Amino acid sequence: MRLFLGLTFAVLALFAASLVTGPAQTGAVESLSALMFGGDGPLPLVMREIRLPRAVLAVLIGGGLGLSGAALQGYLRNPLAEPGLIGVSSAAALGAVIAIHTGLVASGSLGLPFAALGGALIGVFLVLALAGAQGGSLTLILAGIAISALAGALTSLVLNLSPNPFAASEIVFWMMGSLADRSIVHVWLLLPFIAVGVGLIATLARGLDALTLGEDAAQTMGFDLKRLRLTLVIGVAAIVGGTTAVAGAIGFVGLVVPHILRPFVGAQPSRLLWASGLGGAVMLQLADITVRVVMPERDLKLGVVTALVGAPLFLHLIYKTRAGQA
């Protein structure tokens, strides 16, 4: 309980910190009062149109990725699982990359997210078709790897064929993930996907607990594993497709956060879901504040920071695991 209170407090505190961080040098009290009560000048506009969407997106995306990572790790009973595993993020990225390549982006600010959502949708159908209705967790992993590989190859092909270096660099930068220059429209676009994903994954809590003892035991404890897997894939795909469409590919949050928090919830998969949701929101907000405070003029990408922070953390966890086994 203390863990959940602490994480909730951290999410709220970082949310406030995120709102008062940015290139427009203004005081914290001044900024927050402009956000809430409006007023004259550009500040209320900056707060409502730029900073508020950015802070909300960081919470939604980080929370969604943390939650889906915990759900996938629980289902596969593998601490190395992460939301990208089912191939949907690669498929979404491919959709976005095609949008950039074909100039669909110019047709309006939402051309890119819709193309990415289209890619995610095709990806999830392919994964479900490949994995089959009867298969267990192994076929799901294999199908996800196949889709990821195919989408990755096609993304490389698009890069290879890009008409000029500017298009290529735009694609590469987009793929690094960012929350810069997002508007409230992006929030409205993402919100239903997060709501559906969270709603679906929430129904899996007890089934994931039972899966601790393996698929046979979970089935005979009253859980329909086919339905559980379908719910999981659609829930994770909604979250990952939505977040990739809005912010690009952001790695390591769904991998590292459940891993760090697992010991604090007695390793219970159901409790880890919510802890990881809050923890993911904390991690992504920290990263998004970092990119604005460190090197604000260079437009450091969010996905770069999460990877830079996540990889060493992960190495530390490997080291601890090895020490525990020795």
Least Å from the CB of residue 272 to other proteins: 9
* Tokens standing for residue 27: 């005081």
266: contact with other proteins by CB under 8 A: yes
Radius of gyration in angstroms for the set of CA atoms belonging to the chain, rounded to a whole number: 20
Residues 178-207 vs other proteins: string with x where CB under 8 A? ----------------------------x-
**All residues at 6 or more sequence positions from 318 whose CB lies less than 8 Å from its CB, including other chains:** none
- Reading the block at residue 157, the tokens are 């092909």
Q: Per-residue string for binding with other proteins, 60-89, x by CB under 8 A?
A: -----------------x------------
Nearest-approach distance from CB 243 to other proteins, in angstroms: 26
Task: Using alpha carbons, select from 199, 198, 240, 203 the residue that is nearest to residue 224.
Answer: 203
Residue 16 interacting with other proteins (CB under 8 A): no
Is residue 48 a contact point for other proteins (CB under 8 A)?
no
Does residue 139 belong to the site contacting other proteins (CB under 8 A)?
no
Looking at the chain, list the stretches that DSSP marks H as alpha helix, in order from N- to C-terminal side: 2-19, 28-37, 43-46, 52-76, 88-102, 111-131, 137-160, 165-175, 184-202, 205-211, 215-220, 225-247, 253-261, 269-293, 302-325
Task: Out of 2, 27, 222, 323, point to the residue binding other proteins (CB under 8 A).
Answer: 222
Q: Which is nearer to other proteins, 217 or 293 (CB)?
A: 217
Assigned token pair, 81: 């699982």
Number of residues that bind other proteins (CB under 8 A): 21
Of 26, 102, 183, 212, which one interacts with other proteins (CB under 8 A)?
Answer: 212
Q: Tokens 């769904």 identify what position?
A: 254
Of residues 78 and 169, the one with the C-beta less far from other proteins: 78
**Residue 255, phi then psi, degrees to nearest 5:** -90, -50
Q: Does 269 bind other proteins (CB under 8 A)?
A: yes
For residue 237, count other CB atoms closer than 10 A to its CB.
29
Residues in touch with other proteins (CB under 8 A): 77, 206, 209-214, 216-217, 219-224, 262, 266-269
